[in-house]
Amino acid sequence: MISWIRIIFLTPYKNASQRPYVHFLILIHIVYIYPLSYRIYNTVFLTEASNFFTQSLHMHIQLFYLIVFIVLRGTIILMITAGQLQEELVKTNEQLTYLSLTDDLTQVNNKRAVKDHLIQELARHRRSGQPIGIAILDIDNFKSINDTYGHVFGDEVLHTFTKVIKETIREIDTVGRYGGEEFVLILPNSDENQCITAISRIMEKVRKLEWEHDPVTITFSTGLVAVDDATAALDSIPLLDCADKA
């Protein structure tokens, strides 16, 4: 019996926060066995009332145990269910937040998320004075690619192009799809020369890509703005416009 109880109480649960509730639920089941067993023994083996309890008192005790058992069991089950629903709600909210900030095709930040990241980086720049590079990468002749080879291949170009960018930039950098074939790079702690170096690495990798439709070659144009004291006062939209026109 002791080994059986030890196994139950030490069994790992998928949700560790539910362990106390499950243990307590098991405990009240075990506690309920005592009066039930006594009742069965008294009914089967004893013909007269127990020396310690009269039949009437025993029935009241049995009823009390039954009521406590039902109330506690129901309460614990409700607490466990509420905890599970709360976790599912949190996960659902996290998924909705992710979907609202992520481009469906490329799985990078969407336009809204890019603006949010840029606002945060501009605030950090104003506090610390660290440089920021903002670049817009525009795939050349993308409409012609779609018209010639189809939208399926066009989607493949966007997906592969984004993958190359993510594999090339640093963890602190941010990439997002700003619209259509335009992508935004936010490069914290990077001056103009460092931004040019990062973009050059991306260009080199994109140039070496091989495509199913030969002789397709993907290139892109870049606009770059290095945020300094003169441009730090601008909001995110004017800065992106500056990068787009650069």
Q: Which residues are catalytic?
A: 181
Contact residues for 192 (Cβ-Cβ < 8 A; gap 6+): 133, 224, 226
Question: Using the 8-state DSSP alphabet, how is residue 102 labeled?
Answer: B
Say how far apart CA 165 and CA 201 lie, in whole Å. 9
- Residue 91: other Cβ atoms inside 10 A: 10
* Phi then psi dihedrals of residue 109, to 5 deg: -60, 140
Phi and psi at residue 159, in whole multiples of 5°? -65, -45
SS3 label, residue 103: coil
Residues 6+ apart with CB under 8 A from 13: 19, 22
First to last CA, the chain: 78
Exposure class string for 22-56: b at 16+ Cβ within 10 A, else e: beebeebeeebeebeebeeebeeeeeeeeeeeeee
Residue with tokens 């939208």: 151
Q: How far is 108 from 98, CA to CA, in rounded Å? A: 10
